[in-house]
């Protein structure tokens, strides 16, 4: 198998990942800048875009029915070519291709940012395309409207759910892992504090992650934009 190239287009506004309410007590514009830098660094470390995207990837196939590993993860759905099936969240199996075929695979992959997922509230206007977590599954509003008086309880995850005048449809989309969110917020805070850290600030802590500032650091960390501990925490998602 030879991978020829990859194109991707975000399906979720990446700015929605960086609401500054997530990093309290910081100057808004400076915080947004730190969050954007953290996003770019994290995407580089994990080797792929972070948010849900439409992806087209081209391969040259070595043998008939070859399983093709996809570059972006987690994979939500394979759209083209018809007749292929998804193998776990990172590849294809049983594709309708033969040896020496050039295959273009179109698929949806990536995470739904936390700020893109609304919390359910009663009698609230919901736009088409909104996301909501119900029963530990992400649903998308396929019909805009106003939510009902009582939070709907899914009886399954295959049929649409009526909520007032809103129709929610279940998806196989993946929310951004909470652990990854914590590391990303801490990375943004570290980057922010490098430019404006008070002299008496010795450490920052978000969730289960803590980064302690030291008077001296190793040579590798002197040239690194992020501390090695945060880089290691992000690398597990490669």
| pLDDT digit string, tens, across residues 79-137 | 888 878 777 665 666 677 788 888 899 999 999 888 788 889 999 999 999 999 998 88
- Residue finishing a domain among 148, 175, 202: 175
State whether 28 and 107 are in the same domain.
Answer: yes
State whether 107 and 121 are in the same domain.
Answer: no
In this structure, of 19-23, 44-48, 85-89, 130-134, the range with the lowest mean pLDDT score is 19-23
Contact 162, 150 (CB under 8 A): no
Mean pLDDT of 19-45: 68
State whether 48 and 91 are in the same domain.
Answer: yes
The strands making up 161-163's β-sheet, listed across from edge to edge, are 117-118, 131-134, 137-143, 166-170, 161-163
State whether 58 and 152 are in the same domain.
Answer: no
> What confidence score (pLDDT) does residue 149 get?
93
Asked if the model's pLDDT at residue 141 lies above 90, the reply is yes
State whether 26 and 88 are in the same domain.
Answer: yes
State whether 122 and 166 are in the same domain.
Answer: yes
Residue 145: C-alpha distances to residues 12, 141, 148 (Å)? 21, 9, 9
Asked if the model's pLDDT at residue 168 lies above 90, the reply is yes
Mean pLDDT of 30-47: 80
State whether 100 and 32 are in the same domain.
Answer: yes
Mean pLDDT of 4-17: 76
State whether 7 and 102 are in the same domain.
Answer: yes
Mean pLDDT of 3-20: 72
Asked if the model's pLDDT at residue 220 lies above 70, the reply is no
State whether 73 and 88 are in the same domain.
Answer: yes
- Residue finishing a domain among 112, 132, 149: 112
Assign 41 to helix, strand or coil.
Answer: helix
State whether 94 and 30 are in the same domain.
Answer: yes
State whether 7 and 93 are in the same domain.
Answer: yes
Report the DSSP beta bridge partners of residue 62: none
> What confidence score (pLDDT) does residue 219 get?
42
- Domain residue limits at 211: 178-235
Asked if the model's pLDDT at residue 43 lies above 60, the reply is yes
Instruction: Read off the pLDDT of residues 183-215 as tens digits, 9 standing for 90 and up.
Output: 888 888 787 776 655 555 566 665 665 656 555
> What confidence score (pLDDT) does residue 21 get?
42
- Residue finishing a domain among 112, 138, 155: 112
Mean pLDDT of 49-56: 90
Assign 33 a pLDDT band (cuts: 50, 70, 90): confident
Mean pLDDT of 44-48: 87
What domain count does the chain have?
3
State whether 108 and 126 are in the same domain.
Answer: no
């Amino acid at each position: 198998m030879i991978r020829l190239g990859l194109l991707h287009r975000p399906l979720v506004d990446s700015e929605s990942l960086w609401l500054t309410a997530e990093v309290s007590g910081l100057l808004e514009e400076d915080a947004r800048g730190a969050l954007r830098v953290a996003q770019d660094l994290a995407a580089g470390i994990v080797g792929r875009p972070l948010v849900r995207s439409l992806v087209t990837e081209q391969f040259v196939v070595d043998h008939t029915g070859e399983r093709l590993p996809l570059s972006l993860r987690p994979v939500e759905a394979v759209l083209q070519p018809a007749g292929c099936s998804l193998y776990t969240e990172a590849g294809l199996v049983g594709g309708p291709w033969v040896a020496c075929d050039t295959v273009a695979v179109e698929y949806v992959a990536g995470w739904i940012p936390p700020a893109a997922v609304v919390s359910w509230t009663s009698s609230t206007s919901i736009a088409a395309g909104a996301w909501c977590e119900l029963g530990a599954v992400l649903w998308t509003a396929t019909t805009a409207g106003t939510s009902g008086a009582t939070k709907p309880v899914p009886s399954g995850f295959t049929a649409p759910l009526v909520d007032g005048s809103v129709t929610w449809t279940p998806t196989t989309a993946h929310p951004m892992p909470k652990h990854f969110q914590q590391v990303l917020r801490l990375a943004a805070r570290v980057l922010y504090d490098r430019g404006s850290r008070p002299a008496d600030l010795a450490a920052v802590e978000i969730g289960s992650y803590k980064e302690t500032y030291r008077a001296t650091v190793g040579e590798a960390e002197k040239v690194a934009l992020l501390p090695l501990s945060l880089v290691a925490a992000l690398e597990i998602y490669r």
